[in-house]
Amino acid sequence: MPELPDVEVYREALGERIVGRRLTRVELLNPFLLRTAAPPIASIEGKVVREVRRLGKRLVVGFDDELFLVLHLMIAGRLRWLEGGAKAPGRITLGLFHFEAAPNAPARRGFPAPPGRLAFTEAGTKRRASLHLVQGEAALAAFHSGGLDVLDATPAAFGERLRSENHTLKRALTDPRLFDGIGNAYSDEILHRAKLSPLALTSKLDPAGEARLLDATRAVLREWTERLRAGAAGRFPENVTAFRPEMAVHGRFGQPCPVCGSPVQRIVYAENECNYCATCQTGGTILADRALSRLLHKSWPRSIDDLG
């Protein structure tokens, strides 16, 4: 699922392309994409885009008359910008948003600036990505889960939110009611940077660990936003993924930790997995994987040394 750095770079790229442009037509290719009936989706046709916001892991496109289009990409949803005669991706395209040419845009090679289309796509068949149209700031606020923006939060506010409920650090960081925009991938990277176990409890984190966690959270989110922005290099973001070879631990099970060289470990649960370095984060202890540790019983390795 795209998280804060990915969504922020999407926001910037969209803002550059559609703010000030008129939406001429909405083409819904899958009826399950749109989750609201009022106001009708046709009510934004002919209106000008005034802003693009990030709301947690959602993107919000603001139009005249306080109409807000709320896009949630979930796990497999993605956005693509199409100009001229570029074709939309086949079956994975759920919706197309047609925009007039940008006002006052310079002609290219003697031809007028082309109109543009935004394609909302989703791989797979589960159809989790969603689109809502609401009117008014109050209706938009209902989509905010209440998570704290760690990039602007004071240390006191961060600590208070962290201790408000007793969870593992992994769960706390990824709870949208507690913190804004952090998911499975970047929580792994944050905890590795902070040298903290994903299963450590928030109630047992000392002040030094709390400060280290806040510093790591800000650093990882800012660094990856800059990396993704630089990687796009002014183009619309492509290959948006939770798995990147430059990451320290996320998605790198069995590969060497870039800090100490120990093999990255994982805990598998539901449809996700938590990746960590036992040497850097848990004092050499391998955390029990619920499924595998039950299967292996006494053969389950208890420390990083047992793997040798």
* CATH code for the domain in which residue 275 is found: 1.10.8.50
Give the pLDDT band of residue 304 (cuts 50, 70, 90).
very low
Q: Does residue 242 fall inside a structural domain? A: yes
Phi/psi of residue 225, nearest 5 degrees:
-60, -45
Evaluate whether residue 146 is within a structural domain: no
The residue among 36 and 108 whose pLDDT is bigger is 36
- Residue partners of 79: CB distance under 8 A and separation at least 6: 10, 14, 59, 71, 73, 118, 119, 120, 121, 236, 237
Question: Residue 269 has what pLDDT?
Answer: 77
pLDDT band at 86 (very low <50, low <70, confident <90, very high): confident
Q: Roughly what angle, to the nearest 10 degrees, separates helices 155-162 and 207-232? A: 110
292: pLDDT strictly greater than 70: no
Q: What is the pLDDT of residues 124-141, one digit of tens each?
A: 888 899 999 999 999 999
pLDDT of residue 300: 35
111 DSSP 8-state letter: B
Whether 165 and 21 share a structural domain: no
Asked if 171 and 285 sit in the same domain, the reply is yes
Residue 59 sits in the same domain as residue 105:
yes
163 and 111 share a domain?
Answer: no
How many domains does one find in the chain? 2
Contacts of 69 (CB under 8 A, 6+ apart): 44, 60, 61, 63, 131, 132, 133
221's CB contacts (< 8 A; 6+ apart) are: 4, 5, 150, 151, 181, 182, 186, 190
Do 303 and 159 fall within a single domain?
A: yes
Q: 172 vs 294, which has greater pLDDT? A: 172
Q: Token pair for residue 272?
A: 């996700």
191 within a domain of the structure (yes/no): yes
pLDDT at 174: 95
Rounded to the nearest integer, the mean pLDDT of the chain is 89
Is residue 287 one of the residues assigned to a domain? yes
Residue 148 in any domain: the answer is no
Residue 294: what pLDDT?
44
Cα 142 to Cα 145: distance, rounded to the nearest angstrom: 8
End-to-end CA distance of the chain: give it in Å, rounded: 34
Residues 132 and 203 both lie in one domain: no
Q: Taking residues 117-126, report their average pLDDT.
A: 91
Q: What is the pLDDT of residue 299?
A: 34
Q: What percent of the chain has pLDDT over 70?
A: 90
- Which of 31-40, 212-221, 292-301 is the least confident region? 292-301
Domain CATH code at residue 71: 3.20.190.10
Q: Where are the beta strands (DSSP E) in the chain?
A: 23-28, 49-55, 58-63, 67-72, 77-83, 93-99, 116-122, 130-135, 265-269, 272-276
pLDDT for the residue numbered 31: 87
Segment 222-231 shows an average pLDDT of: 95
Mark whether 88 and 196 lie in a shared domain: no
What does residue 45 show for φ and ψ, rounded to 5 degrees?
A: -70, 130
- Say if CB 283 and CB 265 are below 8 A apart: no
Domain containing 165 equals 155-307
The neighbouring-strand residues paired with 285 are: 303
4, exposed or middle or buried, with CB in 10 Å at 0-12, 13-18, 19+?
A: buried
**Does residue 207 lie in a domain region?**
yes
- For residues 58 and 174, state if they share a domain: no
Residues 32 and 71 reside in one and the same domain: yes
Q: Are residues 31 and 130 in the same domain?
A: yes
What's the pLDDT at 137? 97
Q: Is 11 helix (H, G, I), strand (E, B) or coil?
A: helix
**Percentage of residues in the chain having pLDDT higher than 90:** 78
Task: Give yes or no for residue 297 having a pLDDT over 50.
Answer: no
**How does pLDDT run across 30-84, given as a tens digit for each residue?**
989 999 999 999 999 999 999 999 999 999 999 999 999 999 999 999 999 998 7
Domain boundary among 141, 174, 209: 141
Residues 124 and 167 in one domain: no
Last residue of a domain, one of 141, 167, 197: 141
* 298 has pLDDT over 80: no
Quick check: is 147 in a domain? Answer: no
Among candidate residues 82, 117, 141, the one where a domain is terminated: 141
Q: Which residue has the tokens 């793997």?
A: 307
pLDDT tens-digit profile of 160-183? 999 999 999 999 999 999 999 999
The pLDDT of residue 133: 98
- Rounded CA-CA distance 145/143 in Å is 6
Is 150 within the bounds of a domain? no
Q: Is there a single domain that holds both residue 70 and residue 114? A: yes
